[in-house]
Amino acid sequence: MNTTPETGVGGTPIAEEALRAARVLHPDANLMPRPTRRRVLTVANQKGGVGKTTSTVNLAAGLALYGVRTLVVDLDPQGNASTALDVDHRSGTPSVYEMLLGEASVVDAAQTSGQSDHLLCVPATIDLAGSEIELVSMASREARLKEALTSEGLDQLGIDYVFVDCPPSLGLLTVNALVAAHEVLIPIQCEYYALEGLGQLLNNIELVQRHLNQELTVSTILLTMYDGRTKLADQVTQEVRRHFGDVVLNTIIPRSVKVSEAPGYGQTVLGYDPGSRGAMSYVDAAREIAERGAKERQ
């Protein structure tokens, strides 16, 4: 029987899954590398239901679980990322809304998630719902989030990664997220019409690059909701890889009941069911992101 040095057991799919589950359950032995510089990623796709918030919180949790200090900025008025990370987002709580208005700093608004000491979240409260109207008349309205995410504040919190979770639209909040970031992470579901509307998102990113943030790049694409029982999922996967090349992560997130259930319990899937396929896949994706970040030049 073939063995691997890493496992000492047969290199079967079951053995490999057992090894991956052990890594999720015992993260201290498999810490992820820190990036060569702080990475700020905006997670964007104006198409709803593609796993955007789910991917944001689970990638952040995966990095944090393995020793990387990570901040999630919940820029979606629905506040789903705040719910999944189990942070207080009742009206009146210091939040991203106060940050955009200049009434609170990132240090004031960031809360530590109960799921990891390395995982922080700036919550979204119901007050954010009307913020786009308020922002219209403000000076530097497209750069309010960038001005709030100061290097000094993020240094004080010791942050390695910032993930900004956008609303499913291309409005002023999403523009703020794109201006504040160095990179864009786009989740694409392995389903029919997966690429529908993506051209408009890429056009908007190009406009932001041209006029507001020359450093912005689409650095990462994550394939989500993969159902191996369908030919369509494989066709979408191949099409995305052919079109976008190396920016597509090797890891694909499977369609998973556990991933869908976790937010209802105020948890990421890593906290809800750490041995599940969904949890292990997000850990693998987070490790890919971490390894890419560790190889970047300053």
| Chain segment 127-136, per-residue pLDDT in tens | 998 888 888 8
Flag whether pLDDT at 282 surpasses 90: yes
What percent of the chain stands above pLDDT 70? Answer: 90
Flag whether pLDDT at 187 surpasses 50: yes
Give me the phi and psi of 188, to 5 degrees please: -130, 125
For 193-252, what is each residue's pLDDT tens digit?
878 778 888 999 999 999 999 999 999 999 999 988 888 899 999 999 999 999 999 999
Give kind and range of the element (H or E) at residue 249.
Answer: strand 248-254
C-alpha 69/C-alpha 61 separation (Å) is: 10
DSSP letter, residue 10: B
Under 8 Å between Cβ of 188 and 216: no
Query: How is residue 68 written in tokens?
Result: 């990387």
Q: 12 or 36: whose pLDDT is higher?
A: 36
Query: How is residue 146 written in tokens?
Result: 């960038």
Q: What is the mean pLDDT of residues 75-80?
A: 93
Provide the mean pLDDT of the chain. Answer: 89
Give kind and range of the element (H or E) at residue 72.
Answer: strand 70-74
